[in-house]
Chain A
Amino acid sequence: MSKSISSARADFPLLFTTVNDHPLVYLDNAATTQKPQVVLDALQSYYSNLNSNVHRGNHTLAARATDAFEEARSKVARYINAANPYEVIFTRGTTESINLVAFSFGEAFVHAGDEIIVTELEHHSNYVPWYQLCQRKGAHFRVVPFDANGELDLEALKAMLNEKTRLVALNQVSNSLGTVNPLDKIIPMVHAVGVPVLVDAAQAVQHLPEHDVQALDADFYAFSGHKMYAPMGIGVLYGKEKWLEQMPPYQSGGEMIDQVTSQLITFAALPYKFEAGTPNVADAIGLGAAVDYLSQFEPFELQAYEEELLVYGMEQLRAIPGLTLYGNPRKRSSILPFNVEGIQHYDMGILLDNYGIAVRTGQHCTQPIMDALHISGTVRASLALYNTREDIDALVQGIHRVLKMLKR
């Protein structure tokens, strides 16, 4: 039987702290989520009981650490339904995952005159690496715009695809607007012209049931541990074997080699070819624990809970006079971006913090979105599975207090 979502809050110790003499209301989950006790325990336990370097030593601790590390990889592989655990590469996070593909896929497949397509809805992490790749290779950088509702213009994407297109990179959920992109339509459309798709799933893998890479048919799927209740400093790049095999290593050094002589160097098999140096073993094990934790919930139940909370948040926020909620996509996940007329987002953030309410303000690493909306930034409240209606109510009450304070 699956775990009930209402019991989740108690699993996260930091949610019970006080900030500025108020109980913490944590609504900055798109930046990073809090960690459940089981994840904290896994880290502690690794360093207390297992700590050893992996894949090398033939002593007992090294073997145990290696087993635990590889078990974490298998857990992640099962969570996203990868065909093989070796298609799961551990990275530092989504940014590094995308940079890895931009470099290694770029080296193998992108040449002068080729085209890379991204979207205007991307985080800078899924925008700048591709721009840089295009600069390096003399390739063309194409950007799919979004419409007034915050939805991608799929016709524009379709029109951009041609025999020069080498890759399409886009997110599953926009970190700035919360738009859920229809990957079930987009990926087949892009595949129809033989082009692979990289999905930035940083805001999706912890919220949506659609994180089955084989069902999505994603060629690359990148996400961060710390946004899915796992430690910071660990992330994942899933890649289809057929692509990863053809790509050269990203970094080189220990772990990633097969033979090294002065005449010939051969590389290790997947996934180690892409994991140079000592990996982040402890945090990978922490990620495994977070995946176990998340897997206790029934995915559709989890989505329904978060969606109900999001809709409640949208209703409550829209009832505030002068408040603009940005984007109106058909499907939205976990993100509530807004501004109140006459109040700068930064001021709202600082004053809410005085009431113990943590939100993020600014551009959220999505300058192209802010430019398209002609705004300097937003206040962004973002939800996780442990948030409740009480958190939304506290936010709304906080906004009203700020409005009262700034009314002069």
Chain B
Amino acid sequence: MKTVAELEAELIENFNLLETWEEKYDYLIELGQELPPMDPAQKTEENRVKGCQSSVWFDITCKDGKLYFDADSDSLIVKGLVAILHQLLNGQPAEAFADVNLSLFETLGFWRHLSSQRSNGLTAMVAHLRAAAAECAQGKV
């Protein structure tokens, strides 16, 4: 499996091919559409990430020290962000979650709009994943 850094480099390369913000958002939304569908039964209150204006769900499982998750959002843009996190992190060892740097989204061309707003919950989503990863890493020991 590719490392988070390798996957990041791929994403950056793909987004760099796009010139306008419309194209970037279009691609982001497309990534979201390609996210594996989430079973409505997984969209519980417990799986909901607090701190987002739109609804975001993460159903996370820990297996052999690796984290797997299904995720969804009712916002196309947030779902695209979720898809990026999924591409980077799904199936990665729990320790890799500490390396996720939110500045990636700036590099991709979204940070300007998304980072400063607590409403989009990017920070909350990453914090949520990291907390689960920490638990997963402990469970492994």
Contacts and interface: CB of A to CB of B under 8 A. Distances in A.
- The answer to whether A and B interact is yes
A69 B22 CA distance: 50
A344 B75 contact: yes
B53 A346 contact: yes
Given A350-B113, A361-B53, A376-B55, A344 B22 contact: no
Contacts of A343: 76
A289 to B, nearest CB: 30
Interface string A329-363: 00000000000000110110011011000000110
Nearest to B26: A405
Interface in B75-115: 75-78, 113-114
B33 A346 contact: no
A362 B51 CA distance: 12
Contact of A353 (B54, B55, B113): B113
B3 interface: no
Main secondary structure of the interface of B (DSSP, over half): helix
B74 interface: yes
Interface of B: 21-22, 25-26, 29-30, 33, 53-55, 74-78, 113-114, 119-120
A346 B22 contact: no
A354 B33 CA distance: 21
A107 B29 CA distance: 54
A346 B113 contact: no
B75 A362 contact: no
Given A344-B54, A346-B75, 11 more contacts: A20-B21, A346-B77, A346-B119, A347-B76, A347-B77, A351-B25, A354-B22, A354-B25, A362-B119, A376-B55, A406-B76
A20 B78 CA distance: 20
28 contacts: A20-B21, A344-B54, A344-B74, A344-B75, A344-B76, A346-B53, A346-B75, A346-B77, A346-B78, A346-B120, A347-B75, A347-B77, A350-B77, A350-B113, A350-B114, A350-B120, A353-B113, A354-B21, A354-B113, A362-B53, A362-B119, A376-B55, A376-B74, A377-B53, A405-B25, A406-B29, A408-B29, A408-B30
A408 B53 contact: no
Contacts of A376: 54-55, 74
A344 B120 CA distance: 12
Give the interface residue-count category, chain A: 10 to 19
Interface in A135-169: none
B21 to A, nearest CB: 6
Contacts of B25: 351, 354, 405
B27 to A, nearest CB: 12
Contacts of A361: 53, 119
Contacts of B76: 343-344, 347, 406
B71 to A, nearest CB: 16
Contacts of B77: 346-347, 350-351
A346 B54 contact: yes
Contacts of B53: 346, 361-362, 377
A20 B110 CA distance: 12
